Amino acid sequence: MGFLHRHRNLTPYLLLAPGLLYLALFFVVPLCFLAYQSLESGTFDIGYSFTWAWGNYWDAIHNYRDQFIRSLEYAGIATILALVFAYPLAYWIAFRGGRWKNLLLLFIVAPFFVTYLIRTLAWETILADEGPVVGFLRSIGILDDDGRLLATGTAVVAGITYNFFPFMALPLYVSLEQIDERLIEAAQDLYASKWKAFLRVTLPLSLPGVVAGTLLTFIPAAGDFINAQLLGSSQNHMIGNVIQSKFLELTDYPAAAAMSFVLMAAILLMVAFYARLVGTEKLTG
């Protein structure tokens, strides 16, 4: 009998140890450092000292309320748009894709293969003032003659929607694909209209995908700063822009750390609220 056999109850811990230690050291410990830093006071030049400076949190919320609200707002709108756009597409691939399903999924994943920054720059080209989209919207009068898309909230939301679209579409597809089509046929045999069968059978059964997709889109979108930086103006800056510049340009570490935690708390609150709304068992799958 081998060592592993005699100590069967130890085996899982041996398997876990390297990975969990790594995560403890480079995920949990850094978060503790960040928490510690968020309660320090002082400046980069004279040095920081730990003073239980809860005021950092108050300042973060008070001074950057607009950016916090804008982050949640942009991320929320982009998540809803992505859900509305992605659901029919995922539905079509799952139920009409036949044996080409996997190949069609490639179209959804393909944007991931172009570096995030490069595809955001491509949107800059598409939405540019001289570009076809602005020209078209101007000619049909939706935009004024000097109206623009770049450097507006619309462009930022459009960029976020596009960049996180696969995070929404893939979980939707997975949950739609697992639905037993006989259940839908049964509903129709029992005289449900196609629409009613969708509302009462397909939609509820795809809810786990809706929940997973919404969270996977909303969480990274709320912390994003690339779209606001490249497609927006300083009027459209999100909290990610502020955190980024405080850390890397202004070296105001305690304020930036406090903001990071406020961002996490805001996201957790919204996720918890959402979990109450749809039921926790759907959240953990």
| Alpha-carbon distances of 161 from 67, 83, 104, rounded to whole Å | 19, 9, 20
- Interface pick for another protein out of 57, 74, 123, 164 (rule CB under 8 A): 123
Which residues in 44-73 contact another protein (CB under 8 A)?
Answer: none
Site for another protein, residues 160 to 189, rule: CB under 8 A: 162, 165
- CA 244, CA 261: separation in Å to the nearest integer? 14
Gap between the Cα atoms of 190 and 175, Å rounded: 24
Position among 41, 154, 233, 244 found at the interface with another protein (CB under 8 A): 244
Which of these ranges, 51-59, 61-69, 199-207, 240-248, lies near another protein under the rule CB under 8 A? 240-248
| Residue 4 engages another protein in binding (rule: CB under 8 A) | yes
Residue 64 or 123 having the CB closest to another protein: 123
Interface with another protein includes 89 (CB under 8 A)? yes
With contact defined as beta carbons under 8 Å apart, do 134 and 143 qualify? yes
* Selected binder of another protein within 7, 30, 235, 250 (CB under 8 A): 30
User: Which of positions 246-265 make contact with another protein (CB under 8 A)?
Assistant: 247-248, 253, 256-257, 260, 263-264
Q: Can you point out the beta strands (E) in the chain?
A: 40-43, 47-50
Binding residues for another protein, total number by CB under 8 A: 80
Helix (H) or strand (E) holding 179: none
Stretch of 54-62, 116-124, 138-146, 185-193 lying at the interface with another protein (CB under 8 A): 116-124
Alpha-carbon gap, residue 222 to 228, rounded angstroms: 11
153 vs 220, beta carbon nearer another protein: 220
In the block, residue with structure tokens 């400076």: 53
Q: For residues 90 and 187, which CB has a smaller minimum distance to another protein in the complex?
A: 90
DSSP element (H, E) containing 103: helix 101-109
111 binds another protein, rule: CB under 8 A: yes
Minimum CB distance to another protein smaller for 73 or for 124: 124
Position 96 contacts another protein (CB under 8 A): yes
Residue 207 in the binding site for another protein (CB under 8 A): no
Q: Name which position in 225, 227, 231, 236 contacts another protein (CB under 8 A).
A: 225
- φ, ψ (nearest 5 deg) of residue 37: -60, -35
Q: What are the residue ranges of helices labelled H in 24-100? A: 29-38, 55-63, 65-96
Residue 220 touches another protein, criterion: CB under 8 A: yes
Which pair of tokens denotes residue 235? Answer: 């009027």
Query: How many residues does this entry show for the chain?
Result: 285
Q: Is 75 helix (H, G, I), strand (E, B) or coil?
A: helix
